[in-house]
Structure 1
Amino acid sequence: MVSKRTVAIGFVGATLDRVGKGAARWQKWRPTVALCQQQDLLVDRLELIHGVDARDVSLAERIRADIAAISPQTEVQLRPMALRNPWDFEEVYGALHDFVSAYAFDIEQEDYLVHITTGTHVAQICWFLLTEARYLPARLVQTSPARRKDEARHPEGTATLIDLDLSRYDRIASRFRREQQESLAFLKSGIATRNAAFNRSIEQIERVAVRSQAPMLLVGPTGAGKSFLARRIFELKRSRHQLEGRFVEVNCATLRGDGAMSALFGHVKGAFTGAQNAREGLLRAADGGMLFLDEIGELGADEQAMLLKAIEEKRFFPLGSDREVESDFQLIAGTHRDLRGRVAEGLFREDLYARINLWTFELPGLAGRREDIAPNIDFELERHARDQGRQVRFNVEAKRRYLAFADSSEARWTGNFRELSASITRMATLADSGRIDESLVEEEIARLRQAWGVAQQPEPLQALLGRQVADLDLFDRVQLQAVLAVCREAKNLSDAGRRLFAVSRQGKQNPNDADRLRKYLARFGLGWSQLRD
């Protein structure tokens, strides 16, 4: 089998390749020449990129002559490239992209190496990006000088190949995945949430938070955790050194009149009656950090107009001032309202909505995330232990009872996760010996029912099954309740069976509805006589 030819591509080193004069240059390490001196790396062709002025051309030709002297089998192709500013990323990347796009790669016959030791740091970064993105079907090669004491005997130094096929680096890939999972867990405060839609939103929020500086909009009912999540996003970005300033939070529903303008944008002394001193304002306080405007839909028209300017230009006028001030902040907005509907009603600026609507994430309330009640209970107990220095736990039966109620249709959770947090805090505070028992749970359930204005309803399943009802899935509870409702109205077991299986019995030659119903009830340890009693 005929081996492939090795082709190297790289810049002339304007400084490193120019060292030494006359015969003395052979005692110096010159990276481009050294690349062709390696004992275990034969370069069949070198594509040598150089500048277009006379000094650069002269150096390139001298390098080609020196390579011919020490490696006559290496063909050197000089490739002039005009760069006005070799430190301009856009210009260098564009020039190299054009070069590789026009190059006739022959991967069947040739292996390619990109020499990243020479050229500016900008050029080296561009080589890396183009190679990693597979615009170049190549590996990277880096040359290094020998240790100082060996330089005279080994002026060629060493060469190291770098393969960018990340699939070979399982530990690196695993580390990236682990760090992303840690970021997701951080945003969720370590709560093992089970709601699929919420988890997908958190995954997207994590990617947007670390990659974008654009505004984000969190939509959800009061108590759904918008403020909490905004602060976690801020802390995540600050841990990545993307923010240096403060986290500034304001509920726009509390801002009215001149007070709203002053609170947000600041004011100068004497701007209005009572303005005896100048005020910085929240937007300036958030400079270099993050501003969270909760309930942004409550802002007035004037505040909306000034906020749009501040977001787009990072500049605004404090109230009463004729001189602009600057503030470079990242914005997260929160609302429980339908902002699109408010735009249609003329209550919210369409251009401001478009500006903050690039990344919109829905945060469902507790009623839409009932599978997350259990992990949030554990989180609240852990938080109580940190805050109060006192460990509290549920008894097994008490926790079953509370979870059964919390997950039932009777539980309104109008205050969402904030209300759940308050409920757990009350029980943890009242718990003697660090244990929440069934009596505490019943007291708390009664307290919640009263707060929601819900009269305690008779629970036939509880009466029939006792504590066993806490072990039933919601699906089984709903289905069994429907079956019991039919049974209560039926004359006898057969009549109930005919009503319940009215459709499927038509496909059977000898339907035995009573037996089917008897077997269904037996799954829950129930008999017909119990239902009638």
Structure 2
Amino acid sequence: MPRKNVVVGFLGTQLDSGRGAGRWEKWRPTLSLVQHEDTLIHRLELLYPSSAHTLAQGLMDDIASVSPETEVHLIQMDIADPWDFGEVYAALYDWARGYAFDTEHEQYWAHITTGTHVAQICMFLMVESRFIPGVLLQTAPPKRQGRNHPGSYTLIDLDLSRYDVLTQRFNRDQAEALDFLKSGIPTRNKHFNALIEEIERVAVRSQAPILLSGPTGAGKSHLARRMYELKKSRHQVQGPFVEVNCATLRGDGAASTLFGHKKGAFTGAVTDRAGLLRTAHQGMLFLDEIGELGPDEQAMLLKAVEEKRFLPMGSDREISSDFQLIAGTNRDLRRDVAQGRFREDLFARINIWSYTLPGLAQRPEDIEPNIEHLLTRAAVEAGRAIRFTPEAKTRYLQFANASEARWRGNFRDLSASVTRLATLADGGRIALGLVDAEIQRLHWLWQREERPKAPASDLSQWLAADVIEDLDLFDRLQLEAVIGICQASRTLSEAGRTLFDRSRTQRSTVNDADRLRKYLLKFGLQWESLTQPPKPPQTPGSHCDLSL
């Protein structure tokens, strides 16, 4: 059995007006709905202000004379300001929420020809959001006025998936967006392609924080910038793309860089500083290696993300900044949360959308298309054609996909390798000899990056049992690793250089041996004793300072 037609619409206080006999020669949009011989309107829900009750009653009588089968419900809806969007929408929303829609037996048409422009917009939004489960109804006057000329009407279904032309355009736009996020690289890895497809949908639909994890060189920073450029092309952001590696932020400089400061906030603060969060207003902020932030900065960032407000250093007045946060990390933040290194509430806030980008080893199918992309880019920069000879390409691809290829820096390593090959290619030809030399270079680079592994060390050989029991797991594991490095090193200085291989480069005065000696003394240990056969365990009750 076909469903009944039910129309919901506002009374047109001007278009639907008319009292004398001449009103029948005038086109009245609400009346015209029931004048079509081939369409029966079973019920009309007519919304009207109390001031127009006489007009509404007269229109209902005219409808009854033309189409007695149509049931008319007059619904009084008083709106103080019919041009106030919030007031009109609230009134229509309240009515729709209380109405008993029966979509199984009735189909609903929302008439948008009558009422103020604000009322028409609100009616559109109610249908688009499915609070009114139907389609839009647009009526138009006839070319000739008269009683027997009801004009025309058009039904507009807002389910855009039903429009083939629009669907084709949407599919094309999505394909272009996916291609943009992948920098035009025809990637083949199914998992990665599915990942990018979801990221594309999230990027254009959501303003919530996004967490990108994965190894160094997997493309987190590049993808974040492409997401920003995609949103900007669709006018979803107006501000800049702001990027910072949190591993480079230390001490007062960390909070100052992120949140800004007032003049005199600390020694060296000679002028006001806006800070990166404020700079990113209406744009996107990419915090790479977010796990490196200190606890104070984590707390301040949580407030900024949740409330869009924060307090610059040295200021007693909060400032606001509305930005989208993209966070990057090569660590497992879940483990950091469990160990108390990262705030659980901040992790929950930035983990609404979380994606792990696979490294090069997990995407062997994508090595070849990435090489082709990098060669094309190098050729454009050099202004000449650059290509592999067939045998050279075969050799390089075999190596790139073999287990001997470490690709520690992932796509960063691959990009550097192709750049070297393109630069050294005589006549734009990458020959077999050049590939073999590059493979040797990569082996040498990766060999240099190998770090000595600390053998396991039994602390019971050096510390009393009760002292070991009082150690945190963190202290115990750290001390075991330090002792292992000491035992594998020839001198105290060599062990210090190995253990402080990164922080030593940031010091004006380097004394690795002294730093290591002081650390060992906290546990009552000395370098000389660690390089000799261990003594019997200390007696219970001995004490050592565990402070770091």
Query: For this structure pair, what is the TM-score category when the shorter chain's length is used for normalisation?
Result: 0.7 to 0.9
Q: Deviations over 1:177-213 (max 9, x none)?
A: 2221221111111111122221221111111111111
- Structure 2 letter corresponding to 1:198: F
- CA drift at 1:83: 6.4
CA RMSD of aligned residues (A): 2.7
Is the 2:308–2:320 contact (alpha carbons within 8 Å) kept by the matching residues of 1? yes
* Distance in 2 between residues matched to 1:275 and 1:324, nearest whole Å: 19
Q: Describe the SS at the equivalent of 1:280.
A: coil
| Aligned with 1:29 (options 27, 30, 35) | 27
**Corresponding residue number in structure 1 for 2:487:** none
* Distance in 1 between residues matched to 2:263 and 2:234, nearest whole Å: 38
TM-score, normalization: structure 2?
A: 0.74
**Corresponding residue number in structure 1 for 2:372:** 378
**Corresponding residue number in structure 2 for 1:227:** 221
**Corresponding residue number in structure 2 for 1:47:** 44
Is the 2:224–2:286 contact (alpha carbons within 8 Å) kept by the matching residues of 1? yes
**Corresponding residue number in structure 2 for 1:143:** 139
**Corresponding residue number in structure 1 for 2:96:** 96
Residue range with higher mean Cα deviation, 300-309 or 383-392: 383-392
Distance change >3 Å, CA 152–CA 419, structure 1 → 2: same
| Aligned with 1:318 (options 312, 318, 333) | 312
- CA drift at 1:353: 0.8
* Distance in 2 between residues matched to 1:183 and 1:294, nearest whole Å: 23
- Structure 2 letter corresponding to 1:128: V
Q: Describe the SS at the equivalent of 2:11.
A: coil
Q: Describe the SS at the equivalent of 1:364.
A: coil
- CA drift at 1:171: 2.7
**Corresponding residue number in structure 2 for 1:116:** 112
Q: Describe the SS at the equivalent of 2:317.
A: coil
Is the 1:269–1:276 contact (alpha carbons within 8 Å) kept by the matching residues of 2? yes
* Distance in 1 between residues matched to 2:410 and 2:59, nearest whole Å: 73
Is the 1:293–1:333 contact (alpha carbons within 8 Å) kept by the matching residues of 2? yes
Q: Deviations over 1:322-351 (max 9, x none)?
A: 111110000000000111111122211111
Where does structure 1 lack aligned partners over 5 or more consecutive residues? 456-533
Is the 1:44–1:73 contact (alpha carbons within 8 Å) kept by the matching residues of 2? no
Q: Deviations over 1:152-180 (max 9, x none)?
A: 79863321233567665333222222221
* Distance in 2 between residues matched to 1:191 and 1:274, nearest whole Å: 47
Where does structure 2 lack aligned partners over 5 or more consecutive residues? 450-548
- CA drift at 1:125: 1.6
* Distance in 2 between residues matched to 1:260 and 1:168, nearest whole Å: 52
| Aligned with 2:443 (options 429, 438, 449) | 449
* Distance in 1 between residues matched to 2:3 and 2:180, nearest whole Å: 50
* Distance in 2 between residues matched to 1:130 and 1:265, nearest whole Å: 39
**Corresponding residue number in structure 1 for 2:284:** 290
* Distance in 1 between residues matched to 2:420 and 2:273, nearest whole Å: 40
Is the 2:239–2:280 contact (alpha carbons within 8 Å) kept by the matching residues of 1? yes
Q: Aligned runs of 1:233-382 on 2, under 5 Å?
A: 233-382=227-376
- CA drift at 1:55: 1.9
Is the 1:395–1:437 contact (alpha carbons within 8 Å) kept by the matching residues of 2? yes
Residue range with higher mean Cα deviation, 156-165 or 194-203: 156-165
Q: Deviations over 1:467-505 (max 9, x none)?
A: xxxxxxxxxxxxxxxxxxxxxxxxxxxxxxxxxxxxxxx
Q: Describe the SS at the equivalent of 2:186.
A: coil
- Structure 2 letter corresponding to 1:334: G
* Distance in 2 between residues matched to 1:42 and 1:346, nearest whole Å: 69
TM-score, normalization: structure 1?
A: 0.76
Distance change >3 Å, CA 386–CA 92, structure 1 → 2: farther
Distance change >3 Å, CA 375–CA 154, structure 1 → 2: farther
**Corresponding residue number in structure 1 for 2:75:** 80
Is the 2:50–2:77 contact (alpha carbons within 8 Å) kept by the matching residues of 1? no
Is the 2:34–2:67 contact (alpha carbons within 8 Å) kept by the matching residues of 1? no
* Distance in 2 between residues matched to 1:49 and 1:379, nearest whole Å: 62
- CA drift at 1:22: 3.6
Q: 1:67 aligned to 2:63?
A: yes
